[in-house]
Amino acid sequence: MNAAAFFERRTKPFWVIVGVVLVILLGIIDYFSGYELDISLFYLIPIFIVVWYTDGRMGLVFSFASTGVAFLANYFAGQTYSNPTILVSNTLLHLGFYLLVAWLVASLKKTSTGNLELARTDYVTGAISVRYFYELAQIEIRRSQRYRHPITMAYIDLDNFKTVNDQLGHSTGDRVLRAVTDGIRRQVRNQDTLARLGGDEFVLLLPETDGVAARTALNKIHASLVDEMLRNGWMVTFSMGVVTFKEAPKTVDEMVKMADNIMYSVKVAGKNGVKYSTYLGQLSG
């Protein structure tokens, strides 16, 4: 796991605690360093962390908290002013600056999150993108190898999809693809991953799923998708190749290729069916 993934996996309470600790430490440093050394800019560190990993509301809270701690540290350190209003104006200036930075960071995070979501999502169907799928699938491969749990991949191809595009138009073709995505998502678990590989091909990853469970799930999905197409008058069926890996291979490409080969054998046999296979890995000799 890289550093970015490690940080993203931490919970919001974790980052709030980190922020509180940092503000307190900065307050202690601020007090003992005396009022002649201005470290007010360093309070932006916990503000930035909390806003980036939680939300803008916590940034508001930490802006006020940092201002209060800085005020108390300088006050008890013995800082004096020629005019009492200077203390008030400086405090308000710090608060305004902290709030502005918190707002800017929150806006930047929102834009960054939106761009990341676009990069991770297929714009037509809302399924995840190929690149993001490979990232998630590689994580599941490592988990499967570590805990020796089975993992299943299904390669799904839409039969006669080109005919729909040619006769009914690409807008109808897009509706078909979205209906397929929605239909599959309604029947899988949160931990299952659906991606559109491109055109009329999808891939579904089912972690911790053995051959029996895979057969039950994919037969149900196949039947429901065919029914959905018939209800809408779309002459589309589905060829599915399903491989359950008792021992996961090293790469996602290997898994996808094996499932694709099984799917292709369904196409050759006449389309509109589901074929299952089991990969034993090193156990198969």
Q: What digits encode the pLDDT tens for the residues 44-90?
A: 999 999 998 998 899 999 999 999 998 888 878 777 777 778 878 88
| Domain termination residue (choose one: 120, 138, 172) | 120
Same structural domain, 185 and 60: no
* Weakest-pLDDT range from 67-81, 123-137, 174-188: 67-81
**194 lies in a domain?**
yes
In a domain, 125, yes or no: no
Residue from 212, 215, 180 nearest 196 by CA: 180
Mean pLDDT of the chain: 89
Residue where a domain stops, chosen among 64, 96, 120: 120
Same domain, yes or no: 169 and 251: yes
Residues 114 and 156 in one domain: no
Identify any residues that bridge with 158 across adjacent strands, giving them in sequence order: 238
The answer as to whether 195 is a domain residue is yes
Q: How many domains does the chain have?
A: 2
3-state DSSP call for residue 55? coil
pTM of whole model > 0.75?
Answer: no
Q: pLDDT-based confidence at 115, cuts 50/70/90? A: low
CA distance 171 to 201: 17
92 & 214 share domain: no
Joined tokens for residue 168: 């009914």
What is the crossing angle of helices 170-185 and 161-168, to 10°? 140
Whether residue 90 is found in the same domain as residue 138:
no
Average pLDDT, integer, range 234-258: 95
Give the residue numbers spanning the domain of 234.
Answer: 130-284
Domain membership flag for residue 186: yes
pLDDT at 281: 76
Q: Is residue 26 part of a domain?
A: yes
Mean pLDDT of 163-169: 92
Residue 51's pLDDT is: 92
Residue 37 lies in a domain: yes
The verdict on residue 170 lying in a domain is: yes
Strands (E), the chain: 151-159, 193-198, 201-207, 237-245, 273-279
Q: Considering 98, 120, 142, which residue would you say is the last residue of a domain?
A: 120
